[in-house]
Amino acid sequence: MPFQKREFPNRFAELSREDQHGLLKTMVRIRTFESRVEELFLNRKVPGFVHLYIGEEAIATGVMANLRKSDWITSTHRGHGHAIAKGAQTDRMMAELYGKKTGYCKGKGGSMHIADFTIGMLGANGVVGGGFNIAVGAGISAMIKKTDQVAVSFFGDGASNRGTFHEALNLASIWKLPVIFINENNQFASTTPTSYATSVARISDRAKGYGMEGYTIDGNNVVEVYNAAAELIRGTRKGDGPVLLECITYRIKGHYVGDPERYRSKKEVQKQVIENDPITRFIDYLKERKLIDDKEVEKIRREASSEIAASEKFAEDSPYPEPEEACNDLFSFSPSEFPEVAL
């Protein structure tokens, strides 16, 4: 069965000029945070592993602009953009990346495990495909408590080849749970092209197997992402059940910082940078409609740079956790209540 390429409108029906600038601000804040993180990682300030979302900012931004603070998301190993767009503070994120005590997980989670339940960010996840069933669990809680919250599960094309994908979509479908599955098809899973490793032409084709609607859109056009997310989230929130949205994008940076990228040519990447950068495309869109000028764009960039510089300083100035704290917060109960559990 052919995939459903839906044309969602390429204009905003009701967003004010200020709200449209807000979308651009979020995209620029994500880009600025990550560009600095890349440098800091290469300067050995940030330990561990870092996967950048550069080039994919339109998806987190367009989706999250349609969510409430009380809605939930589950993220991936490439989660900085999701966290920022859902309302996470960049200073606590940066501190987490540094391994500092003031970070979201007290410095013990790092880039791939940022979570903040107070804003509905149920966690980035180092396990590919690890977020699907957490989102389904959140959807079950909304069903039992009869709230109108929704859960959004972001996932890569590679993750759609895991068994957890099948379990999650099947259960969400039979129980008509308020879960929206957002695929970020950046055309690679590590070094493997999506077309090689995936049995269908479009990830959205897979929705049919679970009795739900599936659509494919241009994930580098924040206007289309916003409009698609608005319609689908509205439907799911009022009880229409789960839905799958595939957003076609492109990972501009390596799979991780330091990736030698032998699986693609520099020319291919350069073409995407020139023709398909979601931030450039949105600035062009706004300029064509006389909704922004160069000075305003410059101001947005400047403000993002000072925010991220302050976040970096916060992280630099923060202490590391004490060695005695290493085993704290590993469980949701206090180990002293269960002395039989050996640590």
Q: Is the Cβ–Cβ distance between 222 and 81 less than 8 Å?
A: no
Single out the residue of 28, 54, 59, 29 nearest to residue 41, CA to CA: 54
Nearer to ligand TPP, 151 or 189 (CB): 189
Using rule CB under 6 A, residue 186 touches ligand TPP: yes
Does residue 159 belong to the site contacting ligand TPP (CB under 6 A)? yes
Q: Provide the residue count of the chain.
A: 343
188 belongs to the binding site for ligand TPP (CB under 6 A) = yes
* Spatial CA neighbour of 164 closest among 122, 130, 200, 125: 130
Residue closest to 33 by CA, chosen among 93, 77, 73: 93
Find the binder of ligand TPP among 7, 48, 68, 127 (CB under 6 A).
Answer: 127
Find the part of the chain contacting ligand TPP (CB under 6 A) among 102-110, 123-131, 302-310, 313-321: 123-131
Write out the E strands in the chain: 72-74, 151-156, 179-185, 188-189, 192-193, 213-218, 243-248
Residue pair 234/71 in contact by the 8 Å Cβ criterion: no
The region of 141-149, 181-189, 263-271, 308-316 touching ligand TPP under the rule CB under 6 A is: 181-189
**Range in contact with ligand TPP (rule: CB under 6 A) among 4-12, 21-29, 37-45, 70-78:** 70-78
Among 6, 22, 25, 126, binds ligand TPP (CB under 6 A): 126
Sketch the per residue contact string, 75 through 104, with ligand TPP: x for CB under 6 A, - otherwise: -xxx--------------------------
Question: Is residue 23 near ligand TPP by the rule CB under 6 A?
Answer: no
Query: Which residue number, 159 or 207, has a Cβ lying nearer to ligand TPP?
Result: 159
Under the binding rule (CB under 6 A), the answer on residue 218 touching ligand TPP is: no
Collapsing DSSP to helix, strand or coil, 245 comes out as strand
Size of the site for ligand TPP (CB under 6 A): 17
- H helix intervals, 176-328: 194-197, 222-237, 266-276, 278-288, 294-317
- CA atoms of 192 and 202, how far apart (whole Å): 16
| CA angle 277–283–285, rounded 5-degree value | 100
Binding of residue 154 to ligand TPP (CB under 6 A): no
Measured from the CB atom, the residue of 159 and 252 that comes closer to ligand TPP is 159
* Of positions 109, 123, 158, 178, contacts ligand TPP by CB under 6 A: 158
Choosing from 50, 189, 245, 286, the residue that interacts with ligand TPP (CB under 6 A) is 189
Residues 286 to 315 in contact with ligand TPP, rule: CB under 6 A: none
Residue with structure tokens 């590993």?
Answer: 330
